[in-house]
Chain A
Amino acid sequence: MTAITVPSAAPTAVRRPSFVWAVKDTLAVAGRNLITLVRLPQLLVFATIQPIIFVLLFRYVFGGAIVIPGLQVPYVDYLMPGIFVQTVAFGAVNTAIGLAEDLHKGLIERFRSLPMARSAVMAGRTIADLVRDVFVVTLMCIVGVLVGWRIHTNAIAFIGGMLVLLLFAFALAWVFGFIGLSVGEPEAAQAASFPILAILTFASSAFVSPETMPGWLQWFAEHQPLSITVDAVRACLIGGPTATKVLQSIAWSVGIIAVFAPLAVRKYRRVG
Chain B
Amino acid sequence: MASSAPSAGPAIVVEGLRKQFDEVVALDGIDLEVEPGTVLGLLGPNGAGKTTCVHILTTILRPDGGRAAVLGIDVARAPEQVRERIGLAGQYAAVDENLTGRENLRLIARLTHQPKEVVGARADELLERFRLSDAADRTARTYSGGMRRRLDLAAALVHRPPVLFLDEPTTGLDPSGRNDLWGVIEELSGQGTTVLLTTQYLEEADRLADQIVVIDHGRVIARGTATELKAGLGATIVEIAIADDRAAQRAGHVLEMVGPTNLNGHTVEVKVEGGGRDVLEVVRVLDREGIFPDTLLVREPTLDDVFLSLTGHKAEEVSA
Contact = CB atoms under 8 A, between A and B. Distances in A.
Interface of A: 1-2, 4-16, 21, 24-25, 28-29, 31-32, 35-36, 39-40, 105-107, 109-116, 120, 272
A115 B60 contact: no
Nearest to B4: A8
Contacts of B81: 9
Tell which of A7, A32, A106 has the most Cβ of chain B within 10 Å.
A7
Contacts of B192: 4-7
A14 B97 CA distance: 28
A110 B3 contact: no
B171 interface: no
30 contacts: A6-B5, A6-B162, A9-B84, A9-B162, A10-B84, A10-B159, A10-B160, A11-B160, A12-B114, A12-B118, A12-B160, A13-B112, A16-B113, A35-B103, A36-B98, A107-B95, A109-B90, A109-B94, A110-B88, A110-B108, A110-B155, A112-B60, A113-B83, A113-B86, A113-B88, A114-B83, A115-B83, A115-B113, A116-B111, A272-B60
Given A8-B3, A15-B2, 18 more contacts: A2-B37, A4-B192, A6-B71, A8-B5, A8-B6, A8-B162, A9-B5, A10-B162, A13-B2, A28-B107, A28-B110, A32-B96, A32-B103, A35-B99, A35-B103, A113-B83, A115-B113, A116-B112
Contacts of B96: 32, 36, 107
Contacts of B114: 12-14
Tell which of B94, B114, B139 has the most Cβ of chain A within 10 Å.
B94
A113 B58 contact: yes
A39 B86 CA distance: 31
Contacts of B84: 9-10, 13, 115
B80 interface: yes
Interface of B: 1-7, 11, 35-37, 55, 58-61, 71, 80-81, 83-88, 90-99, 103, 107-108, 110-115, 118, 139, 155, 159-162, 192, 194
A4 B36 contact: yes
Q: Which 8 A-B pairs have the closest CB atoms?
A: A8-B5, A4-B37, A106-B94, A7-B162, A9-B2, A106-B92, A10-B159, A115-B83
A151 B161 CA distance: 58
B3 A12 contact: no
A226 to B, nearest CB: 30
Contacts of B107: 28, 31-32
Contacts, number: 133
Contacts of B85: 8-10
Contacts of B112: 10, 13, 114-116
Contacts of A7: 160, 162, 192
Given A6-B7, A6-B11, A28 B111 contact: yes
Contacts of A28: 107, 110-111
B290 to A, nearest CB: 55
Contact of A106 (B90, B110, B161): B90
A114 B108 contact: yes
B103 A113 contact: no
A57 to B, nearest CB: 32
Nearest to B158: A10
Contacts of A24: 110, 113
Given A13-B112, A35-B98, A112 B2 contact: no
A14 B95 CA distance: 24
Contacts of A5: 192
Contacts of A110: 88, 90, 94, 108, 155
A142 B4 CA distance: 59
Contact of B113 (A21, A36, A111): A21
Nearest to A108: B94
Tell which of B4, B60, B115, B155 has the most Cβ of chain A within 10 Å.
B60
B6 A13 contact: no
A222 B215 CA distance: 60
A11 B85 CA distance: 9
A14 B139 CA distance: 29
A107 B92 CA distance: 9
A51 B7 CA distance: 62
Contacts of B161: 10
B167 to A, nearest CB: 9
Contacts of A13: 2, 84, 112-114, 159
Contacts of A25: 110-111
A10 B83 CA distance: 9
A106 B162 CA distance: 22
B160 A32 contact: no
A36 to B, nearest CB: 4
A17 to B, nearest CB: 12
Contacts of B7: 6
Nearest to B5: A8
A166 B245 CA distance: 75
B115 A14 contact: yes
Nearest to A35: B99
B147 to A, nearest CB: 16
A12 B114 CA distance: 6
